[in-house]
Amino acid sequence: MIKACVFDAYGTLFDVAAAARRAAAEPGGEALANVWPKLAETWRLKQLEYSWLRAVADDYVPFSQVTRDGLDYALEAHGLSDSGLRETLLNLYLHLDAYPEVPQMLADVKAAGYATAILSNGSMDMLGAAVESAGLTDLLDDVISVEDVQVFKPSGKVYALAEARMAASGDEIAFFSSNGWDVTHASRYGFNAVWVNRAKAPLDRVGKPPRAIIDDLNDLNALVAAF
């Protein structure tokens, strides 16, 4: 029986492209008008790559630093050097938009009696700001950061954090992530892992296939009840 629904944050609950999209729409954001989708894509890719490399090298730094490093690479790659733009993007990343279905989904999951939590590579300062900005504070029972173990996903130490904090075994946790590599490793760890495949991408060839694949986070209660 499932006791807790645990969610990755970035790309799962929060739209990681929102910072670049909003910066492009602000006064002075003309330089981003045509390039912001590619900038957002490069930024996210490097953010993930740097987290994996640091995990392998046992070279942990807070995710806020990984995020800055990824942005610096992306800005240079796309020929953008405005320091003001850099600060704007970093500030907007603290206030990412939640996907439209997220607030109601979390309310429904809690009403069904499941505990709710975030399990993220994000730093607590970043996660706290995003959760508050999106109005999700009262809809989450816990926000769990890898800061407690100082290694990034997909280390098993991260998934063990969710078991400890939710007082639930792996088979009592439904875990949702938009990252294919995250769900396959969470599934390998023993979670009931669900891939939120918003991009309709192929499944990563690592770990163990997830329990289910869905397009978004609508109507989770029936899915979770079937586990």
Report the amino acid identity of residue 200: K
In the DSSP assignment, the letter for residue 16 is T
Query: Which residue, 81, 77, 78, 51, is CA-closest to 64?
Result: 51
From 8, 15, 97, 182, active-site residue: 8
Sign for the pseudo-dihedral over CA of 202, 203, 204, 205: negative
Question: Residue 76 and residue 219: Cα distance in Å, rounded?
Answer: 41
- Tell me which amino acid residue 151 is: V
Q: Which two tokens stand for residue 214?
A: 């869905």
Helix axes 36-56, 18-25, angle to 10 degrees: 150
Using only C-alpha atoms, the chain has a radius of gyration, in whole angstroms, of 17
Per the annotation, the verdict on 182 as an active-site residue is: no
Which residues are known catalytic residues? 8
